[in-house]
């Protein structure tokens, strides 16, 4: 099968490599910045395209990988579905719940397969934690605490700093943890959040989010884009029979910097120090689904619900009140 990459920044490069590792061929690379499309296309002997809407209609593209900034995810997903292409979409699924619903409806109508890349479900450390929980190793879980973040990402034209586009650390970064909480403990009931989204004098973002899950589990999630450098992930799971802990500072998660300029990374892509990247594992899951071997670990509805959790947190931060989900 042949892949068309839309968005040729850090994530576009990363997913082109993962798709190739899974035996797929990158056929076309689309970006509004022609030079970026050409640079990625050259690495894979692919066709550079300036009009990504034209890319989804190409006969030599079977799968469209949407790796653009968040607000553009849904429009490209809809266009790809209408063109009859299967779709791999980076997280967050959309900037609004309505965008997510529109994308899901378009994929259903076209009868194409839509995969949302919530990669934390494929991280070996987090899968090991889930396995211990499922096996009852810590008894009945009552409390979960997680921490994720580091330096403020830059991105193309500093788009992360436009909170209307990115949603900041709450929507773009710790949505990983929101999805993982649902994956392990089921749906959330309500959320309370306090957040800092500051553009001056220094660009900083910090978010403290507390969920009450319908199962009764209390989850406390910290997200930060306020550190001078680096990236760190921590998680604690407390049950009546024991506690599980993970800290990337002890079992390192490497930070791979993209689009560095002036010492500030365009983004940070954490990956486990293991033989097979979690990002490749999610592509393998997607390809297996396309080949009819098994259902995917992540469904489009999971992507929608993670966005709903993040937007509920942002609403709570704005109003100062808990939000029912």
Rounded to whole angstroms, the Cα distance separating 139 from 318 reads: 36
Is residue 254 scored above 60 in pLDDT?
A: no
pLDDT tens-digit series, residues 91-129: 999 999 999 999 999 999 999 999 999 999 999 999 999
- Scan for tokens 């994720």, then name that residue: 148
Is residue 40 scored above 70 in pLDDT?
A: yes
Segment 278-287 shows an average pLDDT of 97
pLDDT at 260: 41
Domains of the chain, earliest start first: 2-117 (3.40.50.720), 120-274+299-324 (3.30.360.10)
Mean pLDDT in the chain? 93
Rounded to whole angstroms, the Cα distance separating 207 from 186 reads: 22
pLDDT tens-digit series, residues 206-245: 999 999 999 999 999 999 999 988 899 999 999 999 999 9
Segment 70-90 shows an average pLDDT of 98
Segment 21-28 shows an average pLDDT of 98
pLDDT tens-digit series, residues 113-122: 999 999 999 9
């Amino acid at each position: 099968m042949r892949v068309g990459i839309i968005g040729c920044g850090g994530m576009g490069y990363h997913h082109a490599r993962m798709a190739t590792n899974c035996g797929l061929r990158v056929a076309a690379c689309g970006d509004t910045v022609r030079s970026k499309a050409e640079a990625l296309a050259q690495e894979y002997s692919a066709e550079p395209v300036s009009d990504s809407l034209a890319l989804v209609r190409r006969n030599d593209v079977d799968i469209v990988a949407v790796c653009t900034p968040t607000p553009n995810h849904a429009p490209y997903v809809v266009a790809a579905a209408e063109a009859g292409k299967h779709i791999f979409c980076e997280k967050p699924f959309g900037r609004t719940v309505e965008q997510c619903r529109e994308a899901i409806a378009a994929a259903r109508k076209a009868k194409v397969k839509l995969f949302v890349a919530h990669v934390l479900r494929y991280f070996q450390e987090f899968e090991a934690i889930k396995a211990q929980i499922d096996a009852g190793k810590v008894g009945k879980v009552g409390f979960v605490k997680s921490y994720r973040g580091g330096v403020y990402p830059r991105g193309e034209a500093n788009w992360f700093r436009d909170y209307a586009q990115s949603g900041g650390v709450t929507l773009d970064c710790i949505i990983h943890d929101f999805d993982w909480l649902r994956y392990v403990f089921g749906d959330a009931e309500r959320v309370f959040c306090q957040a800092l989204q500051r553009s001056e004098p220094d660009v900083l973002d910090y978010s403290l989010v507390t969920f009450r899950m319908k199962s009764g589990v209390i989850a406390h999630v910290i997200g930060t884009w306020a550190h001078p450098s680096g990236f760190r992930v921590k998680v604690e799971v407390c049950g009546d029979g024991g506690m599980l802990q993970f800290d990337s500072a002890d079992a390192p998660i490497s930070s791979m910097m993209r689009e560095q300029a002036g010492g500030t990374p365009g983004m940070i892509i954490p990956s486990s120090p293991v033989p097979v990247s979690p990002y490749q594992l999610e592509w393998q899951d997607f390809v297996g689904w396309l080949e009819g071997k098994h259902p995917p670990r992540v469904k489009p509805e999971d992507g929608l619900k993670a966005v709903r959790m993040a937007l509920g947190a942002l609403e709570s931060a704005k109003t100062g009140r808990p939000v029912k989900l």
